[in-house]
Structure 1
């Protein structure tokens, strides 16, 4: 089975954007920490791998968490963004930090017992390749734990832009049903696969867009409008988004996918 999501950003642009955001990322990554912690908590208590990989390690926050949880294991962090790896290496937590791509892992077959990946694989156009590579690198009985984003993420922002000009201003993500189908078709056994909505609230539109930029997760889609966004369109966007305001502020919904797969013995 092949699956290639059209319209996802070029991975070189993703790498460059996250590299630029390495210094600001941790300061605004509250949701990312919450999601990663929930993924970490989903790992079986009795599971104690001798080796693990933090796939899409970013600044290394969960690389360090994995090292604390499995202090005797050989750990590695991998990311496509060199700027993130520079930051992660400075903080430590893993024996190795590697530049690499989730769709073509630079690791030997059956060399890891755990692959942990939080909010990274949504940037991969070919999730079949991600699953295939995870299976190849895992030892029999090993676990692939991942969190990702699916359609419905930042829907309030997407809908507000549709009112203004109908152009692509918000990152695209695959359907949750695609995750279900592709994980079921892989050669790994599904232990958990679910979707949870996380809703953040912001004082105003500027706070939301500023956070997305600081995370490196602002609009990276091909087909996005070039150049500066005009004042009239910004004013229209603000008016459209204000109609969605609730007592806590402007809502921004993230549809988070949690998956836990096991490579069969």
Structure 2
């Protein structure tokens, strides 16, 4: 069924290769994602709890909907609203569609939303926007598609995420093996200069612990969130380098295990009436 809020737009020939790599990586991870998405569920649930009391949208968008976990959560929270699940990864949409939740499932880019202007009351996005190179464009699109009084709620990752893994690799070979994210200060500047009113913007660290390093690297691969940096080293990583990485990471071990710190940004913005 077509969605009257969705305007079909052709794929741009200028789409960045890195963005296509992100889409392909997450498409491949669709089947394994939910089994290892503990942090993603915790962050998304925290974002839902931050939604304004009394918010009652007639139409919402789950931007970067992935396997549809939060599309279904939003459908349960707002049972009388129409919902759109949008993701750049076709594989994620194919995985999510049979499970329902949203009214429509749309392939699209957060920086060029294929939606009509003033068509949404809520734009929800959890742990997806860190992959967008042009966050100013994301904010401009949010302002365009929201109705007056509409809410843009997002969570994302900022620099310092997986710093333990980054520092350990730095000690081994100096290459960028860990995804880079914009700083929290950059989020502050973008939100302060957008046409949306910033209600909340803060950063909360979240630390996971693993008994062995391979558990962390397996989880990142299963999530589709392994190294996607431009210029990342190609080829297989030799055993000697892996042993050196394990030794370097062991310096961070605590009684709870090997820590992996995620620096999570939470934002709540509103379009002026």
TM-score using structure 2 length: 0.94
Partner of residue 259, structure 1: 267
Partner of residue 151, structure 2: 143
Q: What number of residue pairs does the alignment pair up?
A: 258
Ranges in structure 2 where 5+ consecutive residues have no aligned partner: 1-15
Please state whether the residue corresponding to 1:217 is helix, strand or coil: coil
Of 58, 75, 81, the residue aligned with 2:83 is 75
Is the contact between residue 9 and residue 221 of structure 1 (CA under 8 Å) also seen in structure 2? Answer: no
Partner of residue 176, structure 2: 168
Ranges in structure 1 where 5+ consecutive residues have no aligned partner: 1-7
User: Deviations for 1:67-87, whole angstroms, at most 9, x for unmatched residues?
Assistant: 000000011100000000001
Of 193, 197, 201, the residue aligned with 2:201 is 193
| Partners of 2:208 and 2:17 in 1: CA distance | 24
Of 106, 110, 115, the residue aligned with 1:98 is 106
Of 246, 256, 262, the residue aligned with 1:248 is 256
Of 54, 58, 62, the residue aligned with 2:62 is 54
Please state whether the residue corresponding to 2:252 is helix, strand or coil: coil
Is the contact between residue 164 and residue 236 of structure 1 (CA under 8 Å) also seen in structure 2? Answer: yes
Of 38, 42, 49, the residue aligned with 1:30 is 38
Please state whether the residue corresponding to 1:227 is helix, strand or coil: coil
Of 153, 159, 168, the residue aligned with 2:167 is 159
| Partners of 1:240 and 1:206 in 2: CA distance | 13
TM-score using structure 1 length: 0.96
Partner of residue 41, structure 1: 49
Partner of residue 13, structure 2: none
Deviation at 1:243, TM superposition (A): 1.0
Deviation at 1:9, TM superposition (A): 7.5
